[in-house]
Structure 1
C-alpha cells in the first residue's frame, strides 16, 4: 500500500515529479504490516518481507526453542565492538516531562535502553523490560520478541545499577520513587515508559516480600499507600498506612 501520485504519463520527464523515499506498507497474510521506503527496489522489498512472513530470513527462524536459545547464546559470545550505541536515534513515546526533575529522570532511561538492546538476539523486533525495585530487593524481567520467536534474557548487574540510579532520580518527583518501571522498546529506538506506583496489585511474579516494601517506605516516606499494598504489608486489619 502507498499514497498514490498522479503523473502525466504522456510527459517523458514526468518521472522527475515522483517522490523518492516515500513510505510503502507491505501487508502479509498473517496481518503483519511492515513499512519500507520506496527507494528500496520493489522486488527486493517483497522478497525480504515474504521471507520474514515464512520465517526463513531472521537468524533462529524455523528453529526449535532449544536451537534458538543456543543461537542466542552463540550471538552473546561473539566478540565485537559493544561500545557503539545500538540506536542512532532514541524517542520516548508519551507526554513531555513536566519539570526539570522529571526530565532528568527521563534522560536516564536512554542508557538503560541502550544497554538492554545490546542483550538482544539478532533480528529482534521489540523488547519488554519490567523492573520491580525497592531499596532492599529487586526483580528484573527482560524478554525480546520478533514475529517468529520470543526469548527471555537475564539482566546483568551493570544494567540493574543504571535502573537503581534512575529510580533514585525519580524519587525526587512528587510521586516519589516508582515500584515498577515498565519499558517497551522497538528495534527503531521508540520507547514507551511507564512508572507503576501501585495503583493496582502487582503481578504475582513481580511482588516482593512485605518487608521490602516496608523498608522502602521507611527510606521514602509517602503520605498515602495503596490500600491493597497496606493490607499486604500489615495484614488484613490494615486500612490506612502512613509514614
Structure 2
C-alpha cells in the first residue's frame, strides 16, 4: 500500500503492525513498526544517527525520543554550546486557535510564554503535553499532563505559570466573547500548539467545575451579554440543578 510519508496524518492509512525500514547516511538500517507515526520514527532515527556519527549539536535544545542517558548527554552538550537561557521548546507554532480576529492578537501572543514555561516542567522524553485551566476571578483549577508513546505523567502547575495564565485571561477579556472559563492547550515537543477557549458552550467536566459563587463573581467582574443556560441554572442553585450531566 502506497502512503505519502510527507503527510503527517498518512500513518492513519497505513496498516498497523507492518515493518518499515529506515536507512541512514551511515548505512545503518533500522526496522520500526508502522504503528509508530512516520515523523516520530524519523525523528528518533535521526537523533540516533547524530549520536553514532558524533556530529556537533546544533544551537537548539535536544529533541524528545532519546533514552534518558542519550538525552542528558545531548542536553549537556547543548548547554555548553548555547547556554542555559533558552527554553525547552525552541519555537512555538500555533496550528489551531479558537479565536483569530484582531482582538485575539494579544491573547494569542501571551500563549507563547505559557507554553515555554509549561514545556520546562515535563520529563526529558515527553512528546506532547495537555494543559487545561479552569479560571474565574476568585478560583482556579489547573491540570497538566505530559505524554509519550511509553508513558503519561501528571505534573503540578506552579504559581509562576498560573500568573502567566491570569495575565492571558485578562487580555482575553477584551475579546467579544469575554474571558474564557477554560483554556485548553495541546503542545508537541516540536512546539506546535493548539489553543481552545471554552466559554461554556457545554457543561464543564466535573473535575474542572468550580462552585457557583465563583462564576457569579466572574460575571460581576466581566458582565456578558448572555450566559449559557446550563451555567445560569447551575449558578441559580439546587432548585435549578437539572443539568444534562
2:68 corresponds to 1:59? yes
The residue matched to 1:158 in structure 2 has which SS?
A: helix
1:1-243 to 2 correspondences below 5 Å: 28-29=32-33, 31-35=35-39, 36=42, 40=46, 44=49, 58-59=67-68, 83-94=85-96, 98-235=100-237
| Structure 1 residue ranges without an equivalent (≥5) | 4-20, 48-55, 61-79
Alignment check: 8 A CA contact 1:82 1:118 kept: no
Q: Bigger CA drift: 83-92 or 216-225? A: 83-92
Q: Residue 97 of structure 1: CA displacement?
A: 5.5
Larger radius of gyration: 1
Deviations 1:186-228 (A, max 9, x none): 0000000000000110000000000000000000001111111
Q: Which runs of 4+ in 1 moved over 6 A?
A: none
Alignment check: 8 A CA contact 1:130 1:180 kept: yes
Distance 2:159 2:103 in 1: 25
Q: How many residues align?
A: 190
Question: What is the TM-score when the length of structure 2 is the normalising length?
Answer: 0.68
The verdict on how the C-alpha distance between 1:40 and 1:205 changes in structure 2, with shifts beyond 3 A counting, is: closer
Distance 1:207 1:181 in 2: 13
Distance 2:66 2:110 in 1: 35
| Structure 2 residue ranges without an equivalent (≥5) | 6-24, 53-64, 70-79
Alignment check: 8 A CA contact 2:97 2:196 kept: no
> Cα RMSD (Å) of the superposition?
3.4
Question: What is the TM-score when the length of structure 1 is the normalising length?
Answer: 0.69
**Residue 9 of structure 2 corresponds to which residue in structure 1?**
none
Distance 1:227 1:2 in 2: 46
